[in-house]
């Protein structure tokens, strides 16, 4: 199947994950999609394992008579809960520059979305403006499936044992939570979950959530002098006291941030949630200490009870991947050989590969090809998916040749 048709077929599946769900996977659509992919793999003659939590593994045996490391390729089934992924209506256009008017009347402008400058002269797939596209990460799945189909149908491509894995709930941070590393049975893997063509990543944020509960004192506002303690006022003071230059909209590259993700409540009680991010573990811990010291100060200043709790989400995979830089170099060399310029940069976010690397499966990340994920302005150049598939094949070929 042509990779474009494959991708357009995959985005029909509504696989938006749901952080409020307690099931695994968090939504039924992910399991429906996993079963569809399982059939595709079986039709290729590939041995599969799909468990009751939506983790789909495929196993391809070696076709050489010498030992090779077992390599894997991973992508996630779900799309982001930020925007609808139901009834996706993709449009293929030949982009000649300028703004793009979507079918709902909204405009994707060059000024607001400079990534469009990368794809002038390309055929690109866009949304109709009512949903996200789902290139994150259905283009990654299409890239892997297309490459695997080539490999199993062409005996001249020499390879060792190959694993493919499609996992649920990456977008809500649960992707590796039930991933059975032993069952996957692999020496190292790549997640195919990056953005624009050429991205190659082995660093990501350290990440934590911070939960704050503020107890105020509510009385009638007409007789409130020297009595009322407004929990919302304290919440506002807390947020305004954090360094404003450390908010996401003012940071880039290796700069970390605090982000107030929600604030709710009233005079008597207020709750706040932050996410904290930094590539440096020292700076990550410093950010935690800053917000904890501020909470202690405000608790004393206002004579109120303020509870604070941190929950770590994932850590920078760099620490676990530095001993495996040969895998990064394998991907870099393979990119160059298929005419892709490597863009080695840190992920300003997370990756299933981060958690999997800490679980004993070294797992850097490379591009899936899309832009503007998680919203209606998402798009992907078709050529990036073709190149992604070519890259997977080249990595496998080079691994076999280098270890011959």
pLDDT of residue 40: 98
pLDDT of residue 141: 98
Residue 226 predicted with pLDDT over 90: yes
pLDDT of residue 59: 98
Q: Name the binding residues for Zn(2+).
A: 76, 136, 171, 193, 374
Q: What is the pLDDT of residues 338-379, one digit of tens each?
A: 999 999 999 998 889 999 999 999 999 999 999 999 999 999
Q: What is the pLDDT of residues 161-215, one digit of tens each?
A: 999 999 999 999 899 999 999 999 999 999 999 999 999 999 999 999 999 999 9
Burial of 282 (0-12, 13-18, 19+ CB in 10 A): exposed
Q: Name the binding residues.
A: 76, 136, 171, 193, 374
Question: Which architecture, in CATH terms, is 206-314?
Answer: 2-Layer Sandwich (3.30)
Q: What is the pLDDT of residues 4-14, one digit of tens each?
A: 999 999 999 99
Buried b (16+ CB within 10 A) or exposed e, 249-273: eebeeeebbbebeebebebbebebe
Catalytic one of 14, 38, 40, 78: 78
pLDDT of residue 403: 86
Catalytic one of 170, 199, 352, 390: 170
Specify whether 286 is catalytic.
Answer: no
pLDDT of residue 1: 82
Q: Which CATH number fits domain 3-203+316-402: 3.30.2310.20, 3.40.630.30, 3.40.630.10, 2.40.10.120?
A: 3.40.630.10
- In the chain, where the domains are located: 3-203+316-402, 206-314
Residue of 128, 167, 140 lying closest to 10 (CA atoms): 140
* Count of other CB atoms within 10 angstroms of residue 101: 12
Residue of 235, 242, 236 lying closest to 286 (CA atoms): 242
Do the Cβ atoms of 145 and 6 come closer than 8 Å?
yes
Specify whether 390 is catalytic.
Answer: no
């Amino acid at each position: 199947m042509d990779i474009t048709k494959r991708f357009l077929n995959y985005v029909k599946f509504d696989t938006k994950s749901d952080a409020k769900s307690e099931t695994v996977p968090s939504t039924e659509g992910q399991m429906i999609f996993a079963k569809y992919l399982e059939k595709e793999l079986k039709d290729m003659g590939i041995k599969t394992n799909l468990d009751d939590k939506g983790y789909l593994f495929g196993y391809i045996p070696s076709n050489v008579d010498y030992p090779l490391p077992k390599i894997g390729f991973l992508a996630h089934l779900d799309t982001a809960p930020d925007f609808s992924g139901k009834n996706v209506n993709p449009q293929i256009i030949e982009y000649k520059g300028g703004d793009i008017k979507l079918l709902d009347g909204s405009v994707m402008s060059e000024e607001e979305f400079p990534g469009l400058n990368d794809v002038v002269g390309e055929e690109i797939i866009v949304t109709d403006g009512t949903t996200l596209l789902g290139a994150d990460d259905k283009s990654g799945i299409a890239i892997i499936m297309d490459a695997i189909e080539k490999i199993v149908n062409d005996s001249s491509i020499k390879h060792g044992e190959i694993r493919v894995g499609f996992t649920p709930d990456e977008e809500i941070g649960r992707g590796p939570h039930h991933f059975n590393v032993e069952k996957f049975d692999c020496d190292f893997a790549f997640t195919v979950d990056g953005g624009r063509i050429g991205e190659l990543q082995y660093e990501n944020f350290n990440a934590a959530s911070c939960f704050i509960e503020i107890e105020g004192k509510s009385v009638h506002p007409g007789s409130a002098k020297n009595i009322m303690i407004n929990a919302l006022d304290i919440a506002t003071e807390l947020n305004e006291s954090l360094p404003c230059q450390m908010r996401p909209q003012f940071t880039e590259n290796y700069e970390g941030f605090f982000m107030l993700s929600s604030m709710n409540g009233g005079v008597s009680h207020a709750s706040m949630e932050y996410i904290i991010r930094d590539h440096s573990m020292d700076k990550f811990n410093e950010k935690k200490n800053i917000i904890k010291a501020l909470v202690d100060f405000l608790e004393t200043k206002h004579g109120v009870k303020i509870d604070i709790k941190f929950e770590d989400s994932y850590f920078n995979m760099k620490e676990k991947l530095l001993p495996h830089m040969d895998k990064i170099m394998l991907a870099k060399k393979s990119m160059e050989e298929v005419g892709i310029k490597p863009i080695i940069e840190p992920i300003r976010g997370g990756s299933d590969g981060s958690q999997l690397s800490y679980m004993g499966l070294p797992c850097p990340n490379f591009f899936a090809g899309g832009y503007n994920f998680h919203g209606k302005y998402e798009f992907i150049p078709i050529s990036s998916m073709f190149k992604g598939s070519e890259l997977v094949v080249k990595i496998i070929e080079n691994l076999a040749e280098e270890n011959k």
